Amino acid sequence: MSDDATTPEDQAQSANPTAPPTRLLSTSVLVIGTGGAGLRASIELAERGVEVLAVGKRRTHDAHTTLAAGGINAALGTMDPEDSWRQHAADTLRESYFLADPEIVETITRSAARGIEDLERWGMPFAREADGRLSQRFFGAHTYRRTCYAGDYTGLEIQRTLMRRARELDVPIIDTVYITRLLVADGAVFGAYGFDIVTGQEVQIDADAVILAAGGHTRIWRYTSSRRDENTGDSFRLAALAGARIRDAELVQFHPSGLLSPEDAAGTLVSEAARGEGGVLRNVRGERFMERYDPARKELSTRDRVALANFTEIAEGRGTENGGVLLDVSHLPREQILERLPRVYRTLIDLQMLDITTTPIEVAPTAHYSMGGVWVRPEDHGTGVDGLYAIGEASSGLHGANRLGGNSLIELLVYGRITGAEAARYARARTRIERDPRAVEIAHEEIRAFLTGDGIEVPRRLQREVRDVMSAHAGVVRTEDGLREGLERIQELETRALGVTAHPDIAGFDDLAHAFDLLGSLLAARATLESAIERRETRGCHNRADFPEQDPQLRGNMVWSPDSGVVFEPLPEVPEDLRDLVEAPADDSSEGRLVE
């Protein structure tokens, strides 16, 4: 090397003389994300004796998985012996509006029982009947009782169980690392690059395989159940820049009841248990409007229908001054509310000093779950980039246009195990690794540009504008004109984002994290808008006011990439052995069922 040659480490020191040199780590398999999906994959790798490192950008004990309340599905037949994996698959396909991949659906429903057994073996405190059987309850759109649960803290208990098992196996976890780029050479991944959120130290992680488990993109809407630093589209950007594709970006589940205030908690969920216990939805005129939209089930209708009803009341001028509707449980006995809805009661006291036993709650639809994500193969969740896999909400293929309640948690368990095993096999078989110094340099320069720039744009301000654009133009109901206007606005924000400068302070490098959150949000927004334009129909969560009917020709996926835009890919037919179950008349009654 000549005397005047410089390395990324030299450049970092020159730009910031106090910056520590890049930290170099190596492992057989790198797992990005330390929620339920990432932990389950890490456990599988450790049990197989394969070196694994799990990294995340927020504390593992507070991963998004902990917010899942309702339950986890498996056709165990403990309550209804007639249930089967085939019926579970049929319910999933029907609720997906036939946009789910039949092979992915079959894999998950066949393997669900093993996922529950794994959790039991590791000490998961499931609710049980008096005779010791696992309790299972109805969720909306399920033919039988197949949802296992642990009170209304199911996700939290799953996360705790997986964390405990990971500790037993000595799985190394670093939960202060923000991954900004995947490192790829000749179509194969060789690691990842990022920085420590606390110290700002850049981190290069060399790996034989990478599993992406970093969540979805619901934070790009104004009202969302995701917290500020999660589900900002990281997975979309990491995968797309590495050469993978995004499937079904336009298919986003909106929860009917998110809070409108306070500002920093807008979108926080009011559990659907509030409606399940007898809560009533009213507009500003005091009308119980669900009688117009679903006279039989009213507030116990499916999530997509209630969200659409709430949106319609607000859009047509029957909402509150703040743009919401009223969810009222105050007619219920106080004791019932405190016993059955303790989290809802506590949340409203904490956030608004509002007593739900006497006062209605102001709510509006809130972006809740990314049903699309990185395109993956059904057999192993490979992405098409050698050595790169995606699981959990980062991936796609199971939910289609409407997620069956309770399916997201079992997806983590099933494909966490399958993909962990496949990544182990791939890493062991890999005998030659190409590493491209230019890929490392690009990742380093991207971080350095944010820290040394002189632009005046503030990342969080632009993030807010992204959310405003998506809420205005790609919310519950969409039109071609609105989507195209939204795309023009996003293009303007992409230009302004070139002028973003990050300003770390004594508290850490959160501002740099916000800058990369912005990049992920912009890419995810573009993918969503362009895909939504091409889906010229109304199907499940995707409501097109200009195309109100379902189009049989669009039974397939919108697959997006930065280079080729949107490509439509038809889906295979439902297997013959499932077809009769799928086409059988569904029981739409709400008797004895929880909402989704």
Q: Is the dihedral of CA 274, 539, 472, 219 positive or negative?
A: positive
d(CA 226, CA 73) in angstroms, rounded, equals: 22
Q: Is the dihedral of CA 427, 432, 437, 438 positive or negative?
A: negative
With CA atoms as reference, report the closest residue to 239 among 207, 212, 220: 212
Neighbour-count burial of 101, counting CB atoms closer than 10 A to its CB (0-12 exposed, 13-18 middle, 19+ buried): buried
Compute CA distances 386 → 190, 211, 241, 392, 456, whole Å: 9, 11, 14, 19, 39
d(CA 520, CA 562) in angstroms, rounded, equals: 13
d(CA 516, CA 236) in angstroms, rounded, equals: 12
With CA atoms as reference, report the closest residue to 540 among 527, 554, 530: 554
List the structure tokens of 561. 């990439």
Neighbour-count burial of 549, counting CB atoms closer than 10 A to its CB (0-12 exposed, 13-18 middle, 19+ buried): exposed
Catalytic residue among 275, 297, 489, 535: 275
Start-to-end Cα distance in the chain: 62
Neighbour-count burial of 527, counting CB atoms closer than 10 A to its CB (0-12 exposed, 13-18 middle, 19+ buried): buried
Q: Respond yes or no: is residue 217 known to be catalytic.
A: no
Q: Respond yes or no: is residue 275 known to be catalytic.
A: yes
Side-chain half-sphere exposure of 325, counting CA atoms within 13 A = 31
Chain centre distance of CA 329: 29
Burial 7-39 (b: 16+ CB within 10 A, else e): ebbebbbeeeeebeebbebebbbbbbbbbbbbb
**Other CB atoms within 10 A of residue 460 CB:** 15
Catalytic residue among 137, 145, 255, 297: 255
Compute CA distances 306 → 272, 292, 300, 580, 591, whole Å: 11, 11, 8, 28, 17
* Catalytic sites, residue numbers: 255, 275
